Amino acid sequence: MSINNLTAYEAIGGDEVLARLVDAFYDRVAQHPNLAPLFSADFTPIKEKQRLFLTQFLGGPPLYAEKHGPPMMRARHLPFPINQERARDWLSCMSGAMDDIGLAGPVRDWVFQRLTQTALHFVNQ
């Protein structure tokens, strides 16, 4: 994606905005009865991994790969029971987090569409 020659990462506001999005997202996930049981009580490590992944996913620096190797996210999610309902719940939390931080416009639409494809790709049940 390119908006005025910016990557999606740059268009949303870079690391500061992405960190706020990840925090808002996991605040919602921690309260969600269908998603919270998939995570440990300490969300700190998963928030950092999500921030690194989304940075790379949205065209920013390849931070995830530098720290954790190739993303291979579907394989990394196979141990977790992910069905259509959980994918929709995940997307609902992400949409709400985007609302919470005021992410709007074409870049939001593009990011959400890409995340929708990704969430559905992770369905393994």
Q: What is the pLDDT of residues 49-102, one digit of tens each?
A: 999 999 999 999 999 999 999 988 888 888 889 999 999 999 999 999 999 999
What residues are paired with 14 via a beta bridge?
A: none
Q: Is the separation of the CB atoms in 91 and 116 below 8 Å?
A: yes
What is the distance between the alpha carbons of residues 10 and 22, in angstroms, rounded to a whole number? 16
What is the distance between the alpha carbons of residues 92 and 96, in angstroms, rounded to a whole number? 6
Length of the chain: 125
Answer left, alpha or beta for residue 104, where phi above 0 means left and psi between -120 and 50 means alpha: beta
pTM: 0.92
pLDDT tens-digit map of 27-43: 999 999 999 999 999 99
Specify the residue for token string 């506001």: 13
To 10 degrees, the CA torsion angle through 83, 87, 92, 97?
A: 130
Specify the residue for token string 């985007």: 98
